[in-house]
Structure 1
Amino acid sequence: MARRRQLYEGKAKVIFEGPEPGTLVCYFKDDATAFNNQKKGTITGKGVLNNRISEFLMLRLQDLGIPTHFLRRLNMREQLVREVEIIPVEVIVRNVAAGSMAKRLGIPEGTPLPRSIVEYCYKSDELGDPLISEEHITAFGWASPQDIDDFLAMSLRVNDFLSGIFLGIGIKLVDFKLEFGRIYDENGDVRIVLADELSPDNMRLWDVNTGEKMDKDRFRRDMGNVEEAYREVARRLGVLPEGANVEAIDGESN
């Protein structure tokens, strides 16, 4: 499709105006960042893989009745999404102690949690996405108590679904981050929907048998083989044909 007016460029995606009112075109980049944009790099083919993985998971969540902003994939790097008002709260669901939680609480990484734990962060790179409580969310008007109930219920349903689908392909879902947005209909009614993306960029995924990390931690921690890890996740999900060359098929998006 013809390139449209750019509205915003983030760390991993570029947003363009969509072909119809209320829609946007989301372009997935190969750029990689970590530690709130302090570390930067490139993961070859990441945009293609994340676009395909996110499409696959979003469609299956929609089949379960979970509303999302996803409409359809346009090509290897772009997808059409609904325009939403992003709620400035990141919802983190944790099944295993890892990352900042392990460091913050002094829990050995890899320790299974007694139950899934949900945390909230204020979406702000400048402030380092600080942890917040439901009291902060409602006091500062970022979301209402009903909104919180909605995205908490959706987050736990997403966790149940993703945990199952990844376990079925030999991957442990350690934790993941979700973002939500509001859609306003013609009657002024508001609906909360899942936004952003679902990919190894915002999940921790460990091989069930070896414990090998298959996500952006490989980039954060300079572990190497980042591209291979992303490709393996896509291959196991069945969105990347066996032996496919990401760089070769990327030409479809041009």
Structure 2
Amino acid sequence: MSVRYLSCGDTAFTVEFGNEISPEINGRVMALHTAIVQARDAGEIPGIVETVPTMRSLMVTYDPMAISRAELQPQVDALVARGLPAGMKSRQVTVPCCYDDPEFAPDLEEVAERTKKTTDQVIADHLASSFKVYVLGFMPGLAYVAGLDPSLFLPRRSQPRVRVPRSSVAIAMDMTTIYPFESPGGWHLIGRTPLWMFDQRREQPVFLAPGDSLSFQRIDRKTYDRIAREVEAGSFDWSTLVKSK
């Protein structure tokens, strides 16, 4: 696969794999991300500060006192040329979501009407979607998650909300997301999770990561309230939601 190298200032460059959002291209991005990190940790490539994956490209930041762009880029190109690893380990994450409370899902009926479904069908199709976290952005912990069932594709709301509650589950275009904080937002709100996508008390404050496979589990309001209390208290066992695959 041919790639483009684009300058990002004097201490970084971007490796671009294509111009579309697809599982294949994003898989190449994540594979290169993993390969560079492994090479750095093994001492094979010095001077790597960090790699930042996006939906279709990878930004490589380096220390110019340790390595130059002229030295680093050929090493990255060699990783691409020899074939990036496939079938890497990833996480399967399950997110509990309550769709039943109108306070949590103010757009659910409108989504059903616009997609010519019942609300239960909208929920079922959201639960059945094959989701993957492509990138984090906009605010700490906000994941752009692609893979929404095509029958639920809708543009963003024509009138964004000034305040979207934290942990709202929303859809727009071919994606779903979970708002990590109360913020403005223009996506369609169809549910809410009791989980916090960002919690600075945790060793890893951000819950989701690029490359994660994601599924939602329907819960009722009673279960939502119980989990919410545990999350608030810091006693919730997050490991029950994550499996390696």
With normalisation by structure 1, the TM-score equals 0.26
With normalisation by structure 2, the TM-score equals 0.27
The structure richer in strand per residue is 1
